[in-house]
Amino acid sequence: MTISDDTLLGGRVRLRQSDAGYRAGLDAALLAAACDARPGERVLDAGCGAGAVMLAAAARRPDADVTGLERDPGAAALAAENIALNGFGARARVIAGDVGAGFAALGLKPFDAVLANPPFFDDAGALRGPAEAKRGAWITAAGLAAWTSFLVKAVREGGAITLIHRADRLADILAGLAPKAGSFQILPIHPFADAAAKRVLVRAVKTGKAPLRLLPPLILHDRDGAKHSDRAEAILRGEADLGWGQS
């Protein structure tokens, strides 16, 4: 397995990750930027892979305690290595576990917040590929419903649930979370201002009762040739957060 040495947040975070397996990208960066944990709070990154979201969230929230959950031993080993590489050992860790087995199987008390970038597909026949090394990150045999159930149980009452996913699964996400969570905030993510949203960031509060809020969209790219819009670039470099409103 070939490992590359990359950086996040404009070089503030180092990330060693597999060249063949799932590689952290824009979704991971946006999910980490959505973490709004307060000092002393415990955050769980469900399905952390090599630790991109966990590490970037730890850098953004230096007074929070972060745990990564990962079922693949190779990815978990990389995440542990990356924690040490960035000097986060005092307040970050990775544990072995499978979201499909449920939160109770971990034997942990609920967290203050949970982050997740669930696999985008439930049906292996829905897409060609991906490569075997990336399969677990793209396809979940347990289904999206198993992920939403896990996320609700992983946080205390009043705890925050934040996930990024395909925009066309928004109804399924809300239906999965709604029995036990509310105070939804939805951030549509558009590749261009004149294109439909491809991703959504969803934030919910366990037992929350506030009305659903549909936030102004995040536009990733301008059509003037720049790689990212000014706001997206500031988020990627760690110079801006997503700025959730009050829930």
Q: Report pLDDT digits (tens) over 106-124.
A: 999 999 999 999 997 565 4
CA distance 158 to 247: 10
Which residues, in sequence order, are CB contacts of 177 under 8 Å at separation 6+?
Answer: 148, 151, 152, 161, 184, 202, 204
Q: Is residue 134 in a domain? A: yes
Q: What is the pLDDT of residues 20-65, one digit of tens each?
A: 766 778 999 999 999 999 999 999 999 999 999 999 999 999 999 9
CATH number at residue 142: 3.40.50.150
> Residue 135: its pLDDT value, please?
44
Q: Is residue 212 in a domain? A: no
Eight-class DSSP state of 131 = -
Q: What is the pLDDT of residues 162-171, one digit of tens each?
A: 999 999 999 9
Could you give the residue ranges of the DSSP H alpha helices within the chain? Answer: 26-33, 52-60, 73-85, 135-138, 144-154, 170-177, 230-236
Confidence of residue 133 (pLDDT cuts 50, 70, 90): very low
Q: Is residue 218 in a domain? A: no
Q: Is residue 236 in a domain? A: no
Q: Is residue 88 in a domain? A: yes
Read off the amino acid at residue 163. Answer: L
Q: Quick one: how far is CA 247 from the chain centroid? A: 20
Q: Is residue 185 in a domain? A: no
Confidence of residue 141 (pLDDT cuts 50, 70, 90): low
Q: Is residue 193 in a domain? A: no
Average pLDDT over residues 160-180: 96
Q: Do residues 88 and 131 lie in contact, with contact meaning Cβ atoms separated by under 8 Å?
A: no
| Number of domains making up the chain | 1
Q: What is the pLDDT of residues 212-234, one digit of tens each?
A: 999 999 999 988 877 899 999 99
> Does the CA dihedral 207-146-115-82 come out positive or negative?
positive
> Residue 59: its pLDDT value, please?
96
- Residue 126 in this model has a pLDDT that exceeds 80: no
> Residue 123: its pLDDT value, please?
53
Q: Which of 36, 33, 40, 108 is nearest to 69 (CA)?
A: 108
Q: Which of 49-63, 96-110, 136-150 has the weakest average pLDDT?
A: 136-150
> Residue 137: its pLDDT value, please?
47
Q: Which of 38-42, 78-82, 136-140, 199-203 has the weakest average pLDDT?
A: 136-140
What's the pTM?
A: 0.89
Share of the chain above pLDDT 90, in %: 79
Phi, psi of 183 (to 5 degrees): 55, 45
Average pLDDT over residues 56-76: 96
For 51, the domain range is 3-179
Average pLDDT over residues 173-196: 96
Q: Is residue 192 in a domain? A: no
> Residue 174: its pLDDT value, please?
97
CA distance 196 to 28: 20
